Structure 1
Amino acid sequence: MIRDDALDALPVREALPRLTGALDAHGTAVLVAPPGTGKTTLVPLALAGLLGTGPARRVVVAEPRRIAARAAARRMAWLLDERVGESVGFTVRGERAVGRHTRVEVVTTGVLLQRLQRDQELTGVDVVVLDECHERHLDADTAAAFLWDVRETLRPGLRLVAASATTDAEGWARLLGGAPVVEARGTAHPVEVVWAPPARAVRPPHGMRVDPVLLTHVASVIRRALDERDGDVLAFLPGVAEIARVAGRLGGLGGVEVLQVHGHAPAAVQDAVLSPGQRRRVVLATSVAESSLTVPGVRVVVDSGLAREPRVDHARGLSALTTVRASRAAGRQRAGRAGREAPGAVYRCWAEAEDARLPRFPSPEIKVADLTAFALQAACWGDPDASGLALLDPPPGGAMAAARSVLAAIGAVDADGRATGRGTRLSRLGLHPRLGRALLDAAPVVGPDLAAEVVALIGEEPPRDYGDDLVGALRTARRGGDAYAARWRTETRRLRRAASESAGRRTAAGSARPAEDGVRDTAASGAPSAPDRKDTVRAPVPAPDVAHGTPGSSPCPDADRARDTPAPWSPPVPATGLLAGEDGRVGLVAALAFPERVARVDGGAHLMVAGTRADVGAASGLRGAEWVAVAVADRPVGRGHARVTLGAVVDEAIARHAAGALLETHEEVHWADGDVVARRVERLGAVELAVRPLTGAGPSLVRAALLDGLRREGFGLLRWPAGAVVLRQRLAFLHGRLGEPWPDVSDAGLHARVEEWLEPELSRARRRADLARIDAGQALGRLLPWASGEAARLDELAPERITVPSGSGVRIDYADPERPVLAVKLQEMFGLQESPRVAGVPLLVHLLSPAGRPAAVTADLASFWRDGYRGVRAELRGRYPRHPWPEDPATAEPTRHTNARLGR
């Protein structure tokens, strides 16, 4: 019997006529409804005709998370007074509860994408509701784009609804062809905002790190809220580790039950959170509790203000979740949890002044996440560059290029970017393509059972207490009785079936349902569920992977033809005794998944094939291993290297096998340690495998190394006689003063024209000693402007010496190209009225004492004779009485001699 009283209490009911009218008129609609109004539960039931009005339709509701999908289905079944699997069912990866008469099916967006790839028309489905579209998960954006494409080209009668409590309604309306926006007014109870910033400074989050000071503060705010308010407390924290730490700080709460809810929590805990408690509760949750879930009894929300988003570290070739400030939209969603059933309060653990600086919405995953899985979806859809997809934000070009290179390397796409038969199989495994590749290629070598076990372990990183040794973690999971081990076993079974079916073998599951969902029918069985987490495994943007022969090309949408393609290419078994034991086979699977992370010990760290250095823990079982396949690594704060958090021991043979496309042997000639080094190097990416001296290196390689040496150490490597140095200075002066055709002889200028002035000497050189024999002055002479005839004016424009009034030829110092210097004894300049010039520039005259020491500096000789000479004469005449010191130097006779020599 339908629970009409509960249905009547849902505020979205008043918007149903406008929503159904919009769908009848346009076929699409954007529904904006506050939390708690019933958009997730009442709307699908009404659209399916299960409330006694409207035609019977089959409705698919797409949720971003498993826990939300299961909870929504159970709530709708309760409203109909039925069991899940009758009129309302759900499908998530690893579990399915759907019956023959199911009219509303709640699925994760990952499952919806799988179905769209198998059956573009979504045969039998009348309406698709994309719930919580404001979260901008990549799977949800992709599904929306595919659905719009289906509606535009194949099924104009397919109805689409984008639903959210806080979203860019105009953007979604535009994306869905000008869809009407239907807003439902909520009757949510008022929520008081309490600003509760920490009393002391908190370091901003970095990577996965959250300042313990903030976690301590959150725990204190929870205690404060329990004292000041009635009802249960729902606290939002960024991740599982932070939930555990805050739970540890809440010890001693008498009469209060502390629950931890997140995507990895056991199903029993998830179900307990969604049911009324017998005593007061504190629920510590990640963002899974932001939307689609009503936690009964909650009157208070404590918001840490943090969230986790995927980021790609291009510098290290790693990808991971990172802690960020939660958006204002997320803050509104979280606060709304406190007002679902009665007036409530939200304690925000930041200052009110900071609120306006928060981002409006979460970062769309398409802008910040690894796009390899997305690129494969697009290729299977027939749009390899995603240019024809209706997306709110286009994928970044660099991330898409990296993704396509990976897909091409693993044989998932052909040279034109179109999906191959292998790509089809990879897309249907419900895994990131990297993990799918490992499953398919490792199964023939290590067996499908072990391949499935290891891929399941890598796909959802095990708890830290499992250790960082992948082999040890696998054995712990096998014997473990914790929630992670239960999820791991469920996923292993799914992957084992997928690997077997992909190889052409059929399992006892038969073909009642296509294997790509990887689900089992548990309608009305009460079977245990899989944990909540997104159905597409996120993995880092990798370096180019190992190329494979591909079994031909077939578009993914043609499911029948794809199933007829040959079995995946089976790699030959690497020649290594390590595969005789389980340790080596585990390492092979990890290496096939992440070949660019195979690492060899190098000094105190391991150097990955991709060039990133990674450390293993001091007590790690991986320490001391020469080769390691790194499955998971993170980015510690303040550390220059990555840190291995999960890996396996391998050997060189496995490394060569897994990362074979990066194996190359080449001649390497370069400048190192002050000379040319020539060697033959065998490399696996950045890792040197073997080095041998190279004799007879190619002249072009040697020449390039010599030029590199000149760039790094300068042209001082050449021989510079005194005349060569002076010539370079004179040319620098003329270039600065007159410009062309006088050459630029700076280091940059000489490098730019090296072929003109340093050949053929450079072509004959083989090492540093040969450079030291090259006369730089003779070579520089080639740069003089001979063709124009200006070279003949060098001594006129920038003479090496100048004749002074005494008749002496005095050298000009061009070391400063802005102002050449003439250093000459004062008595030799008597009678000269103006300072001498070169190329129109007055020389800076250093007038020297009889002992050759500077007595005065002037660029205006006439002014010096008039004003400065008297002081110099008075100071020096007594010290040098044998030298002439006339009263009027401007008219005196210049001389190089003393008075005695002059006969005075």
Structure 2
Amino acid sequence: MPTSVFLPRTSATVSSSTPQPSAKAQLPEWPRPSRGAAFSYPGPRALRNRDNGVVTFRLDTIGRGLVFADSIEDFAAQLTKQGDGGAVVVQAPPGTGKTTLVPPLLVNLLEQRHPGQPRVLVTQPRRVAARSAARRLASLDGTRLGDRVGYTVRGENKASAQTVVEFVTPGILLRRLLNDPGLEGVHAVIIDEVHERGLESDLLVGMLAEVRELRGDLTLVAMSATLDAQRFAALLGHTDDGGPAPVVDCPSALHPLDVRWQPAREQRLDDRGVSRSFLDHVARTAAAAHETASAANPDVDALVFLPGVREVSDVASRLRAVVPGNVEVLELHGQVGPAAQDRAVSGREPGGAPRIIVSTSLAESSLTVPGVRLVIDSGLSREPRRDAARGMSGLVTVSCSQASAAQRAGRAARQGPGVVVRCYDQRSLAAAPAHQTPEILATDLTGAALVLACWGAPGGRGLGLPDAPPAGAMTDAMEVLRELGAVADDGSATALGKVLARVPADPRLARALLDGSAAVGRRAAAETVALVAGDQRAPGADITKLLAILRSGTDPAARRFAEDVKRMDSIARQEAAAVVPLGEGHRITAGEAPGYVVALAFPDRIAKRVPGDGPASYLLTSGTRAGLPAGSPLSGHEWLAVAEVSRAQGRDTAGTGAVIRAAAPLAAELAEAAAPHLLTGQVNATFDNGRVTARQERRLGAIVLSSTPVRAGIGSARQAVADALAKNGLSMLSWSPTADALRRRMALLHRELGDPWPDVTDAGLLARLEEWFAPELEAMATGSAASAISLAEPLHRLLPWPEAGRLEALAPERLEVPSGSLVRIDYPDVDDDGGRPVVAVKLQECFGWDSTPRLVDGRVPVLFHLLSPAGRPLAVTDDLTSFWSGPYSQVRAEMRGRYPKHPWPEDPWTAPATARTKNRM
């Protein structure tokens, strides 16, 4: 049954949180501007009208119908109260208009302090959102895009000297900060959608807070759609008193939202990822829901959320096959071209066809799609995860967080009453995490580590970040940067590191761009780096095939690719002298160039095919095994340079647990040329089936290039035996009863007395193998059988002197009983921490024994197993006195008739101990 839910309207409030200190970055000093008296607040009339000649934007026009218009006075008052410069956190649900209203409002306020042309930068987590927000604000302002309002994203710039509000992606602003740490000419920065916890946005929060400490006139605003604003308020706090920044709340739009649950019968995920049957369910649900909604309101558009590009394309194809011909099905994700993205997020033209927009999480929170009153949610998302064991990172499909589910649903009610159909059940939503995992906690940190090193905060030390980077991931990232020559031993950025930071790509790709240009040419290197750094998926994981598609110009992304290549080529030309190229002396054809450049970037991912008849499986130089996707054209190649590898999530046909997402063919000699530091040659000796064998091996990392039988040297043979013992344990050796008994006695003494009595467990003996077993080790290395080795003598080498002289007194091999017999003592197992020494003896041999003997200077009582004349156990005791006084009488009554020839005296205290029958006595 559908549930009627209303998005709440709350009054605008201002709050603060606990302050958090922030260390200053190593930035150039400049005179701190005098704050003086606070600038005068012009009041709501001046803010909303241009009549006074001061205000830049007409907020009454721009803010018409936007909920955030009710909060602009609170926002302005908070900045006014702080004087020159300031920080505010805006907490406003999606659809309230904060992205549209806050930037022009901030310009209006800043113009009073900076008459003429204040400049405001606004970050958007996605390129399509930056373009859309800029286009919308320019339209509402009645000006041409690129004049007063513009944007800059990778490969595209629509801004000019007259631009006062510029929308940028976080990556663009990070590189501007590294080039100009003071952000000269910028008066305010707005970080939008901080709740998404993207890695670059998190870095900006920490870095901009430090810039503000040095520049008292810089205004900072963080905007969040969720209730996590207090964390950012503490990070952006006041520079004067150390308190948190104020938080301006905004009410949400009061539009009803019908929540409907329509779970599939089948599981959403199977052994191949998102199941085909579930995608079919999503498509059927979307088609039926849109048909029903359109019948009631022809102006309704639908938005379908799916986790990734493959699923979006699949469902879009299914929808086109079933919806009426007048319904337009559009795809929205990072791999469609800018024009297609902009068309999807733009409103339907008057009289235009109804639309179903099938999208990844790209449309979740950072932009409003006009006309959407219906949302169909798969409840799945694709999030980054780092596999530390395999040294790889990638995207995995998981249930979306509860916060993401709420934001997706809110898409339908931004502009009026809406409906969300969830293709999963309420139990799945309740079991989902509250928030998405912050990217800094789950992804590869190599690029972030380089940014932090260039900023003067290696590893993030001293920087106020929303979450500290994981120590293990940061250590791995810094090690990669050291191998690249990007950071010094102390973690600070080198000159080369600063060059690599200017390349809009992973530092490993940036180094490959510079190294590879001399070997394959700047153009070829730039093409490969631009392709791998982009977000296009290689068909069948084949980079060369994708490269041919993009070169042809037929793909929608070809234009952006060409611009990226031009930029990479320019960087390579400018920085040609930054490094000594690694590829000199090797003839590389145009077809080999992509593989060689990828191998330079990721030498740990050079891969060689593993022989076998099954699906293509490859061994990487890192030691990881990975398979190609089914039907990949690369499966016939012996060597590959792998650009991307991730956990398989069940779709790994080779059964390796990892799947290759992007790779290029590579010649064997180029594999060695690209990774000379991974080349090793050594003799590997092994001990198996009682003999030592050796092979001369040449390796590229974990990949064996050649292996030839050779005679093992005595040193390597000894080591092979030692390694085999360490791997398989001392059970490989033949423990005689004498050696085993001695070892048990020594173990008891070590347990009770400690040093100097040695530890004779497997671990203890293996740790001192050379000390007690050296002659025998050499004998086995030269061919002696393990069964021929006596271990009693080697164990005696570990006995401490002079304490060894008391071995028999402390832990005797045998115990003399009252009958005169010497009975063997059975000592506990070496690994038994609580075991007792046991003496199994006939009951009659202990008559007259009124106290239990104790070993190890009286510390350990002997446990007696008292036996019948036939050797069967009658009683177990470590207290003979109590036994004779009590249980003996019952034993006597039961046994005297069974064994009449043996003595069963009424008084065991005075009876002679004997091992004989009564007649023989």
Q: Same fold (TM over 0.5)?
A: yes
Alignment counterpart, residue 603 of structure 2, candidates 595, 615, 624:
595
The one of the two structures with greater contact order (alpha-carbon pairs below 8 A, sep at least 6) is: 1
Alignment counterpart, residue 222 of structure 2, candidates 162, 185, 198:
162
Task: State how many pairs are aligned.
Answer: 822
CA drift of 1:875 comes to 4.4
Indicate how the Cα distance of structure 1 residues 812 and 344 shifts in structure 2: closer, same or farther if over 3 A, else same.
closer
Residue in 2 that maps onto 1:460: 534
CA drift of 1:266 comes to 2.8
Indicate how the Cα distance of structure 1 residues 874 and 183 shifts in structure 2: closer, same or farther if over 3 A, else same.
same
Q: Secondary structure of 2:802's match?
A: coil
Residue in 2 that maps onto 1:529: none
Pair 1:268-2:268 in alignment: no
Residue in 1 that maps onto 2:282: 218
CA drift of 1:598 comes to 0.4
Indicate how the Cα distance of structure 1 residues 836 and 68 shifts in structure 2: closer, same or farther if over 3 A, else same.
closer
- 1:142-192 deviation digits (Å, cap 9, x = unpaired): 223222222222x32122211233252212121112454353534624232
Uncovered stretches (5+) of structure 1, i.e. residues with no partner: 504-565, 878-882
Q: Secondary structure of 1:661's match?
A: helix
- What is the alpha-carbon distance in structure 2 between the residues aligned to residue 8 and residue 709 of structure 1? 79
- What is the alpha-carbon distance in structure 2 between the residues aligned to residue 761 and residue 857 of structure 1? 44
- What is the alpha-carbon distance in structure 2 between the residues aligned to residue 744 and residue 444 of structure 1? 60
Alignment counterpart, residue 447 of structure 2, candidates 358, 369, 373:
373
Alignment counterpart, residue 619 of structure 2, candidates 596, 601, 607:
607
Residue in 2 that maps onto 1:766: 781
Name the amino acid aligned to 1:190.
H
Residue in 2 that maps onto 1:841: 862
Residue in 1 that maps onto 2:400: 326
Name the amino acid aligned to 1:586.
P
| TM-score where L is the length of structure 1 | 0.82
Residue in 2 that maps onto 1:71: 132
Pair 1:185-2:258 in alignment: no
CA drift of 1:368 comes to 1.4
Q: Secondary structure of 2:464's match?
A: coil
- 1:395-434 deviation digits (Å, cap 9, x = unpaired): 2222222111111212222333222332222211211112
- 1:327-361 deviation digits (Å, cap 9, x = unpaired): 33333332332222222233334444554554343
Alignment counterpart, residue 279 of structure 1, candidates 341, 344, 353:
353
Q: Secondary structure of 1:798's match?
A: coil
Alignment counterpart, residue 673 of structure 2, candidates 657, 665, 670:
657
Alignment counterpart, residue 209 of structure 1, candidates 263, 273, 286:
273
Residue in 2 that maps onto 1:107: 168
Pair 1:23-2:82 in alignment: no
Residue in 1 that maps onto 2:213: 152
Pair 1:122-2:183 in alignment: yes
- Note the 1:514-533 alignment, pairs <5 A: none
Contact 1:855–1:872 under 8 Å retained in 2: no
- 1:783-837 deviation digits (Å, cap 9, x = unpaired): 445424x7346157524363563x55554444668455555678x7496666974
Indicate how the Cα distance of structure 1 residues 821 and 263 shifts in structure 2: closer, same or farther if over 3 A, else same.
closer
- What is the alpha-carbon distance in structure 1 between the residues aligned to residue 745 and residue 176 of structure 2? 78
CA drift of 1:635 comes to 2.2
- What is the alpha-carbon distance in structure 2 between the residues aligned to residue 772 and residue 241 of structure 1? 61
Indicate how the Cα distance of structure 1 residues 454 and 837 shifts in structure 2: closer, same or farther if over 3 A, else same.
same
Residue in 2 that maps onto 1:571: 582
- What is the alpha-carbon distance in structure 2 between the residues aligned to residue 899 and residue 294 of structure 1? 106
Residue in 2 that maps onto 1:512: none
Pair 1:247-2:316 in alignment: yes
Contact 1:72–1:293 under 8 Å retained in 2: yes
Indicate how the Cα distance of structure 1 residues 745 and 36 shifts in structure 2: closer, same or farther if over 3 A, else same.
closer
Indicate how the Cα distance of structure 1 residues 233 and 884 shifts in structure 2: closer, same or farther if over 3 A, else same.
closer
Contact 1:823–1:845 under 8 Å retained in 2: yes
- Note the 1:215-614 alignment, pairs <5 A: 215-229=279-293, 230=297, 231-250=300-319, 251-254=321-324, 255-273=326-344, 274-277=346-349, 278-460=352-534, 462-463=536-537, 466-479=539-552, 481-503=554-576, 566-573=577-584, 575=586, 579=588, 581-604=589-612, 605-614=617-626
Identify the range of structure 1 (113-122 vs 483-492) with the bigger mean alpha-carbon deviation.
483-492
Q: Secondary structure of 1:657's match?
A: helix
Pair 1:12-2:68 in alignment: yes
Identify the range of structure 1 (709-718 vs 417-426) with the bigger mean alpha-carbon deviation.
709-718
CA drift of 1:320 comes to 1.0
Aligned Cα RMSD in Å?
Answer: 3.6
Residue in 1 that maps onto 2:816: 802
- 1:47-90 deviation digits (Å, cap 9, x = unpaired): 33499999441222211111011111111111122221122111
Name the amino acid aligned to 1:447.
G
- What is the alpha-carbon distance in structure 2 between the residues aligned to residue 100 and residue 781 of structure 1? 88
Residue in 2 that maps onto 1:550: none
Pair 1:630-2:703 in alignment: no
Contact 1:422–1:568 under 8 Å retained in 2: yes
- 1:518-540 deviation digits (Å, cap 9, x = unpaired): xxxxxxxxxxxxxxxxxxxxxxx
CA drift of 1:313 comes to 1.2
| TM-score where L is the length of structure 2 | 0.81
Indicate how the Cα distance of structure 1 residues 830 and 341 shifts in structure 2: closer, same or farther if over 3 A, else same.
closer
Residue in 2 that maps onto 1:35: 94
Indicate how the Cα distance of structure 1 residues 845 and 885 shifts in structure 2: closer, same or farther if over 3 A, else same.
closer
Alignment counterpart, residue 866 of structure 1, candidates 876, 889, 892:
889
Name the amino acid aligned to 2:216.
P
Identity %: 41
CA drift of 1:446 comes to 1.0
Name the amino acid aligned to 2:282.
V
- What is the alpha-carbon distance in structure 1 between the residues aligned to residue 670 and residue 187 of structure 2? 51
- What is the alpha-carbon distance in structure 2 between the residues aligned to residue 771 and residue 893 of structure 1? 49
Indicate how the Cα distance of structure 1 residues 569 and 886 shifts in structure 2: closer, same or farther if over 3 A, else same.
closer
Indicate how the Cα distance of structure 1 residues 690 and 71 shifts in structure 2: closer, same or farther if over 3 A, else same.
same
Residue in 2 that maps onto 1:86: 147
Pair 1:728-2:743 in alignment: yes
Indicate how the Cα distance of structure 1 residues 732 and 411 shifts in structure 2: closer, same or farther if over 3 A, else same.
closer
Name the amino acid aligned to 2:380.
L
Name the amino acid aligned to 2:889.
R
- What is the alpha-carbon distance in structure 2 between the residues aligned to residue 166 and residue 737 of structure 1? 62
Indicate how the Cα distance of structure 1 residues 682 and 844 shifts in structure 2: closer, same or farther if over 3 A, else same.
same
Name the amino acid aligned to 1:176.
L
Identify the range of structure 1 (194-203 vs 448-457) with the bigger mean alpha-carbon deviation.
194-203
Uncovered stretches (5+) of structure 2, i.e. residues with no partner: 1-56, 239-243, 856-860
Name the amino acid aligned to 1:632.
E
- What is the alpha-carbon distance in structure 2 between the residues aligned to residue 620 and residue 431 of structure 1? 26
Q: Secondary structure of 1:321's match?
A: strand
Identify the range of structure 1 (298-307 vs 752-761) with the bigger mean alpha-carbon deviation.
752-761
- What is the alpha-carbon distance in structure 1 between the residues aligned to residue 64 and residue 469 of structure 2? 43
Name the amino acid aligned to 2:661.
T
Indicate how the Cα distance of structure 1 residues 871 and 734 shifts in structure 2: closer, same or farther if over 3 A, else same.
farther
CA drift of 1:736 comes to 5.7
Residue in 2 that maps onto 1:552: none
